[in-house]
Structure 1
Amino acid sequence: MAKKKQKQTISIGSVIITLLVMLVLYFQSQGEYKKCYVVDIIDGDTIKVNLAGEEYKVRLIGVNTPETKHPTKRVEPYGPEAKAYTKKILTGRTVYLEFDVQEKDRYGRLLAYVWLEKPEQITDEEIRTKMFNAILLLEGYAQVMTVQPNVKYVDRFLQYQREAMENQRGLWGLSIYQKNKSAKRK
C-alpha cells in the first residue's frame, strides 16, 4: 500500500513539475521579439519576412486593411494606398515580431505585432510610434479586426481607430465612410 501511495505521489509531483516548467516557458516567451527582415509585401496587412534564414508570411494581428489580392473579392477602396504605405515603410527593413497567444493562423501564416524598433517599455507612446499595426490604424490605412485569442492590444487599437475616424484620416476620409458616419448620427 505504501509503494502504491509513493507512485501516486511521484506521478502527481511529475505532473506539477511539468506544468510549472510549461508555465515558466510560456511566460518567458511572452514579451520576446523576433528580429527579422522584410523581403516582400503581400497586402497592406500581410508581409513576407526572413526569420532565422527561413521565409514566412506574416499576418498583422488586430488590423485589417482593404483588400488588393483577395482570391474572391475585388480591389477595395483604399486597398492600393494601404499596400503602398506598407511597402514604403517596411520593404527591406529589419523589424521585430511580437506574438500573442496564437502563433499561426489556419493558413499557416505567422500572426504578429510588427515593431519598427524593439520597444523599451510597452507605453502608449512606444506603441503609437514603433508598432506598425498601430501606425496603420492611426494613419487610417486599416480598421480594427480582432480574432480571439489574440487581443493583447485591442483596447488601444480601438482608441487609435477612433482617433483616425475623428480626424478623417486615410480611408475614414473617403466619401463612403463619411456617408455611413453621418447616417449613424441621425
Structure 2
Amino acid sequence: MLTSIVPGMACEGLRMVQAGQVTEIVDGDTVMLDSGLVVRLIGTQAPKLPLGREGFEAWPLAEESKAALSALALGKTARLGYGGEEKDRYGRALAHLFVDREEGEVWAQYQMVANGLARVYSFPDNRNCLDQLFSGETQARAQRLGIWADPYYSVQAADRPDALLARVGDYELVEGRVLLAEKSGPRVYLNFGRFWKEDFTAVIEAPALRLFERDGLDPLALEGALVRIRGWVDERDGPRIEVTHPEQIEVMARP
C-alpha cells in the first residue's frame, strides 16, 4: 500500500488539461476517467498484471501497486499534464496525472515511484520531469521500499552475462563499469566485458545518438565510467539493451 504522501516534488512545463474524475484503476500505472479516457501514467512502469493475457504471470507486488494507486487516485478529480507524444497506438493518453486531495494537488507518478511501487520508465518522445522521478526512485531503492525489497526487481550486475541471459525479454536495471565505448558505423557500443560476443553490451543507434548530441552528451566519454542502464534485455551476441535516449543511462561515477 501507499505508505505516505511524499512532499516537495513538482512536474512543470507541461500542457495541462482538466481531466474529470478517476473512476477505475486498471493497474499500478493505468487509470480510467469518467469520460472513458484511459490514461497511461507516462514515465513509470508498475508491476504488471495479466489483464486477460493468457499464460501471463503477475509480477511481484502488482496487486499492491494497483491498490496503492487506488488509494491515491480513485474517485479523485484530476488534471492531466502532457509533455510529449500524447496518445499511444492503443488510444491511451500518455500523461502525468495530478489528483486533488486534502493535502492539495498530488503528482501520482512521483508518489508511486517514491513509495517503491513503480520504476522510472522513459521514452525518447516523452522525457519531461524524469530528474524528479529518478530522485524519488533513488530514495525508495535506498530505503528498500516496495519493489526494492523484492529480489525480482534487483539491479543486475553487468559482469554476470549468464544471469542477464536468464532475463531476456524483461525490463531491467543493469549496473557496471564501461570497459570500452566505441563507434562502429552508425551506432555506438558500450561494452562491459572483454568478450563482446558473450558479455553485456548497451547499443546506441543513430536516432538515439542524435538525441545525445542535441543534449550535448558524448556516449564515447562513458568509457571507464560506472553506469546504470535500464531497458529491455534482448540477446544478440550476448545480452544487450538498446538505448533509445540519454535518460536510460545514469552515470554513477565518472572515469
Question: Structure 1 length normalisation: TM-score?
Answer: 0.69
- Match of residue 50 from structure 2: 69
Tell me the alpha carbon deviations over residues 57-113 of structure 1, each in whole angstroms, 9 at most, x when there is no partner. Answer: 100010000111352631000101001111122111111111112110111100110
1:32 Cα deviation after fit: 2.1
Root mean square deviation of aligned Cα: 2.5
Q: Distance in 2 between matches of 1:77 and 1:175?
A: 9
Matched, 1:56 2:56: no
Q: Distance in 1 between matches of 2:153 and 2:110?
A: 20
1:178 Cα deviation after fit: 5.2
Structure whose alpha-carbon radius of gyration is higher: 1
Matched, 1:32 2:13: no
Select the residue among 116, 127, 130 that pairs with 1:154: 130
- Match of residue 214 from structure 2: none
What amino acid is the match of 2:137? Q
Aligned partners of 1:141 and 1:170 also within 8 Å: yes
- Match of residue 86 from structure 1: 69
Matched, 1:132 2:115: no
1:150 Cα deviation after fit: 0.9
Tell me the alpha carbon deviations over residues 111-157 of structure 1, each in whole angstroms, 9 at most, x when there is no partner. Answer: 11011249xxxxxxx9xx82010000000000010012111111111
SS of 1:116's equivalent in the other structure is: strand
Aligned partners of 1:60 and 1:111 also within 8 Å: yes
Moved more, 75-84 or 61-70: 61-70
What amino acid is the match of 2:25? I
Q: Distance in 2 between matches of 1:63 and 1:130?
A: 16
Spell out the pairing of 1:2-41 with structure 2 (5 A cutoff): 30-41=14-25
| Larger RCO (CA under 8 A, 6+ residues apart) | 1
1:176 Cα deviation after fit: 3.6
Select the residue among 111, 123, 142 that pairs with 2:94: 111
Q: More helix per residue: 1 or 2?
A: 1
Write out the 4+ residue segments of structure 1 that deviate beyond 6 Å after TM superposition. Answer: none
- Match of residue 166 from structure 1: 142
What amino acid is the match of 1:42? V
Q: More strand per residue: 1 or 2?
A: 2
1:179 Cα deviation after fit: 8.0
1:41 Cα deviation after fit: 0.8
For residues 162 and 35 of structure 1, do their structure 2 counterparts lie closer, same or farther at Cα, with a shift above 3 Å needed?
Answer: same
For residues 179 and 158 of structure 1, do their structure 2 counterparts lie closer, same or farther at Cα, with a shift above 3 Å needed?
Answer: closer
Aligned partners of 2:19 and 2:33 also within 8 Å: no
Moved more, 81-90 or 169-178: 169-178
Aligned partners of 1:36 and 1:97 also within 8 Å: no
Q: Distance in 2 between matches of 1:56 and 1:32?
A: 16
Aligned partners of 2:47 and 2:118 also within 8 Å: yes
For residues 180 and 30 of structure 1, do their structure 2 counterparts lie closer, same or farther at Cα, with a shift above 3 Å needed?
Answer: closer
